Structure 1
Amino acid sequence: MTEHDLLYALALQHVPNVGDITAKKLIQHCGSAEAVLKEKKQNLLKIDGIGTVILSELFNDIHLLEAEKELQFIKENNIEAFYFEEDAYPLKLKHCIDAPILLFKTGNINLKNRPVISIVGTRKITTSGIAFCEDLIESLAVYNPVIVSGFAYGTDITAHKAAIKNNLQTIGCLAHGLNQIYPKVHKKYMVDVEKNGGFFTDFWSTAKFDRNNFLKRNRVIAGLSEATIVIESAEKGGSLVTADIANSYNRDVFAVPGRPTDVLSVGCNNLIKQQKAHILTTPFDVPYILNWKLQDDKKPAIQKQLFVELDDTEKAIYNYLSENQKQQLDLIAIDCDLPIFKVASVLLNMELKGVVRPLPGKLFEVV
Structure 2
Amino acid sequence: MSLLHQIALTKVSGVGSVLGRHLVSHFGDAEAVFSATKKALVAVPGIGTRLAETILNGNALQNAENELRFIEKHHIQVRFWGSKDYPKRLAECSDAPLLLYYKGHADLNAPRMISIVGTRNATSYGKSVCSEFIQALSSYHATIISGLAYGIDSYAHRNALTFGLPTIGVLGHGLDRIYPATNREMAAQMLDYGGLLTEFPSGTNPDRQNFPMRNRIIAGLADVTIVVEAATKGGALITAEIANTYNRDVCAFPGNLNQEFSAGCNYLIKTNRAHLITGAKDLEYLMNWLPDTTSGSSRQLGLPVTLDVQEQHVYDIIRSMGQIAIDDLSLRLQWPQSKLAITLLEMEIKGVVAALPGKVYRIT
TM-score of the aligned structures, taking structure 2 as reference length: 0.78
State the match for 1:162 in structure 2. Answer: 159
Q: Give the letter aligned to residue 95 of structure 2.
A: D
Q: Give the letter aligned to residue 194 of structure 1.
A: L
Give 3-state SS (helix, strand or coil) of 2:280's partner. coil
Q: Note the residue ranges of structure 2 that are not aligned, 5 or more in a row.
A: 297-364
Q: Give the letter aligned to residue 27 of structure 1.
A: V
Alignment of 1:216-365 (within 5 A): 216-295=213-292, 297-298=294-295
Cα distance in 2 for partners of 1:22, 1:235 equals 33
Q: Note the residue ranges of structure 1 that are not aligned, 5 or more in a row.
A: 300-367
Q: Does 1:196 align with 2:199?
A: no
Percent sequence identity over aligned pairs:
43
Cα distance in 2 for partners of 1:22, 1:95 equals 16
Q: 2:206 aligns with which of 190, 205, 209?
A: 209
Q: Is the 8 A contact 1:142 1:298 kept in 2?
A: no
Structure 1 position 283, deviation (Å): 2.2
State the match for 2:310 in structure 1. Answer: none
Q: Give the letter aligned to residue 177 of structure 1.
A: G
State the match for 2:43 in structure 1. Answer: 46
Give 3-state SS (helix, strand or coil) of 1:58's partner. helix
Cα distance in 2 for partners of 1:95, 1:202 equals 16
Structure 1 position 40, deviation (Å): 1.9
Cα distance in 2 for partners of 1:206, 1:227 equals 31
Cα distance in 2 for partners of 1:233, 1:92 equals 25
Q: 1:132 aligns with which of 99, 107, 129?
A: 129
State the match for 2:329 in structure 1. Answer: none
Structure 1 position 258, deviation (Å): 1.6
State the match for 1:175 in structure 2. Answer: 172
Call closer, same or farther: CA 1:274–1:55 in 2, change over 3 Å: farther
State the match for 2:73 in structure 1. Answer: 76
Cα distance in 1 for partners of 2:14, 2:284 equals 41
Call closer, same or farther: CA 1:172–1:113 in 2, change over 3 Å: closer
Cα distance in 2 for partners of 1:180, 1:259 equals 37
Call closer, same or farther: CA 1:41–1:274 in 2, change over 3 Å: farther
Q: Is the 8 A contact 1:151 1:157 kept in 2?
A: yes
Q: Is the 8 A contact 2:139 2:293 kept in 1?
A: no
Structure 1 position 266, deviation (Å): 1.4
Cα distance in 1 for partners of 2:291, 2:154 equals 27
Give 3-state SS (helix, strand or coil) of 2:69's partner. helix
Structure 1 position 248, deviation (Å): 1.1
Q: Is the 8 A contact 1:150 1:221 kept in 2?
A: yes
Q: Based on CA coordinates, which of the two structures has the bigger radius of gyration?
A: 1
Q: Is the 8 A contact 2:88 2:109 kept in 1?
A: no
Give 3-state SS (helix, strand or coil) of 1:10's partner. helix
Structure 1 position 59, deviation (Å): 2.0
Q: Give the letter aligned to residue 193 of structure 1.
A: M
Structure 1 position 176, deviation (Å): 0.8
Q: 2:144 aligns with which of 147, 160, 171?
A: 147
CA deviations 1:76-105 (Å, max 9, x no partner) are 001111111111111111111211121111
State the match for 1:346 in structure 2. Answer: none
Structure 1 position 284, deviation (Å): 1.1
State the match for 1:335 in structure 2. Answer: none
RMSD, aligned CA: 1.6
Q: Give the letter aligned to residue 193 of structure 2.
A: N
CA deviations 1:95-138 (Å, max 9, x no partner) are 11211121111111124553000000000010000000000000
Aligned residues: 296
Cα distance in 2 for partners of 1:118, 1:205 equals 25
Q: Is the 8 A contact 1:218 1:242 kept in 2?
A: yes
Cα distance in 1 for partners of 2:58, 2:45 equals 25
Cα distance in 1 for partners of 2:231, 2:257 equals 11
Give 3-state SS (helix, strand or coil) of 1:57's partner. helix
Q: Give the letter aligned to residue 40 of structure 1.
A: T
Cα distance in 1 for partners of 2:50, 2:220 equals 29
TM-score of the aligned structures, taking structure 1 as reference length: 0.78
